[in-house]
């Protein structure tokens, strides 16, 4: 069985006393080490699916397993990075990175050592004594990435992590995350509504559409990292995604280019 196995997964919420289907019939298999982007317009169930896999808010139809185990709640093998960084303003950068390690039985010296190592990975080693408000948005998100990596998770969930950043900072962080992925060999589930971001980052793109939220197609990106955003091949993949998003079909399509 695949590392992450999602079978007929769905989620309904009660909205004003009525059942609302946020996610319907998702079937998806993800292998270890894959970079998966969940892509689609706002409200198509990306966060709902991510929260179901991460165990924050379980699906109420079908099943999701990781390594053969049914997801029943958040696991210490996973970590999630959100758009708003989630840093504690009263803690220094170093202390923020140490945060996840504090619940582990580890002496202070070792904790500091690991936190420093990951600050180096995100190139913020000279800012360990700064406070979050003294850093730019991009730097704050790099602190959040360092904090996530410090606990050595197997899966990194990222829910529109670069959504609040300007385009140039965003491109820079996209390269950083690809670098990290290559060196640290994580499985990454990355939510975005930005088609170019998905084409730039993903091994496979899960294209989703709303009402009800469902997977329209899964597209394997046939390009090597680091990708040239202006190349013909890049634009071709982007066009295929537009096509998928606009396609009127009930079936889920496996797309290869
Ligand atoms: N806790 C909730 N209660 C009721 N409806 C919800 C809840 N969470 C999400 N929804 C609805 O489910 C749909 C999918 O939401 P979400 O997964 O957040 O979409 P996305 O992340 O793709 O923007 C939306 O229509 C949203 O209003
Ligand atoms: Mg969302």
Q: Hey, whose CA ends up nearest to atom 3 of ligand 1?
A: 13
45 lines ligand 1 (CB under 6 A): yes
Q: For residue 182, what pLDDT is reported?
A: 83
Quickly state the pLDDT bin for 250 (edges 50, 70, 90): low
Bigger pLDDT: 8 vs 104: 8
213 lines ligand 1 (CB under 6 A): yes
Quickly state the pLDDT bin for 144 (edges 50, 70, 90): very high
Q: Hey, whose CA ends up nearest to atom 12 of ligand 1?
A: 22
Statement: residue 256 has pLDDT above 70: no
The CB-side HSE value for 205 (13 A sphere, CA atoms) comes to 30
Average pLDDT over residues 96-118: 93
Backbone angles phi, psi at 150, to 5 degrees: -60, -30
Cβ contacts of 18 within 8 Å, gap of 6 or more: none
Output b/e per residue, 57-74; b: 16+ Cβ within 10 A. Answer: bbbeebebbbeeeebeee
Q: For residue 185, what pLDDT is reported?
A: 86
Ligand nearest, relative to CA of residue 46: 1
Mutate to test the pocket of ligand 1, among 43, 46, 53 (most ligand atoms within 8 A of CB): 43
Find, among 202, 254, 193, the residue nearest to 227 by Cα: 202
Cβ contacts of 207 within 8 Å, gap of 6 or more: 39, 40, 215, 216, 217, 218, 219, 241, 244, 245
**Mean pLDDT score of the chain:** 93
Q: Hey, whose CA ends up nearest to atom 6 of ligand 1?
A: 13
100 lines ligand 1 (CB under 6 A): no
Digit-coded pLDDT (tens) for 197-226: 999 999 999 999 999 999 999 999 999 988
Q: Hey, whose CA ends up nearest to atom 2 of ligand 1?
A: 13
Residue with tokens 């990292």: 225
Least confident range of 123-132, 168-177, 188-197: 168-177
Q: Hey, whose CA ends up nearest to atom 10 of ligand 1?
A: 22
13 lines ligand 1 (CB under 6 A): yes
44 lines ligand 1 (CB under 6 A): yes
What percentage of the chain reaches a pLDDT higher than 70? 96
List of domains in the chain: 4-77+153-255 (3.40.50.300), 89-151 (no CATH)
Digit-coded pLDDT (tens) for 16-70: 999 999 999 999 999 999 999 999 999 999 999 999 999 999 999 999 999 999 9
pTM of the prediction? 0.94
Statement: residue 249 has pLDDT above 90: no
Average pLDDT over residues 127-137: 96
In order, the DSSP letters of 60-112 are SEEEEEETTEEP-S--TTEEEEETT----TTS-HHHHHHGGGTTS---HHHHH
């Amino acid at each position: 069985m695949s590392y992450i196995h999602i079978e007929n997964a769905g989620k309904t919420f009660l909205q004003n006393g009525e059942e609302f289907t946020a996610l319907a019939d998702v079937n998806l298999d993800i292998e270890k080490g894959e970079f998966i982007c969940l892509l689609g317009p706002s409200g198509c169930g990306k966060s709902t699916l991510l929260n179901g896999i991460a165990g924050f808010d379980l699906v109420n139809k079908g099943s999701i397993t990781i390594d053969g185990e049914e997801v029943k709640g958040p696991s210490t093998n996973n970590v999630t990075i959100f758009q708003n960084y989630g840093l504690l303003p009263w803690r220094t950068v170093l202390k923020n990175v140490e945060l996840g390690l504090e619940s582990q039985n580890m002496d202070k010296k070792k904790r500091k050592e690991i936190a420093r190592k990951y600050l180096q990975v995100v190139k913020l080693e000279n800012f360990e004594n700064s406070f979050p408000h003294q850093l730019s948005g991009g730097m704050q998100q790099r602190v959040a990435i360092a904090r996530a990596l410090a606990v050595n998770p197997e899966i990194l969930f990222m829910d529109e992590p670069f959504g609040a950043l300007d385009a140039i900072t965003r491109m820079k962080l996209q390269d950083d995350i690809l670098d990290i992925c290559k060196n640290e060999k994580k499985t990454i589930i990355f939510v975005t509504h930005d088609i170019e971001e998905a084409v730039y980052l993903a091994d496979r793109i899960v294209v989703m559409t709303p009402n009800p939220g469902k997977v329209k197609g899964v597209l394997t990106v046939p390009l090597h990292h680091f990708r040239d955003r202006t190349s013909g091949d890049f634009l071709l993949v982007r066009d295929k995604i537009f096509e998928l998003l606009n396609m009127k079909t009930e079936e889920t399509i496996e797309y290869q280019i």
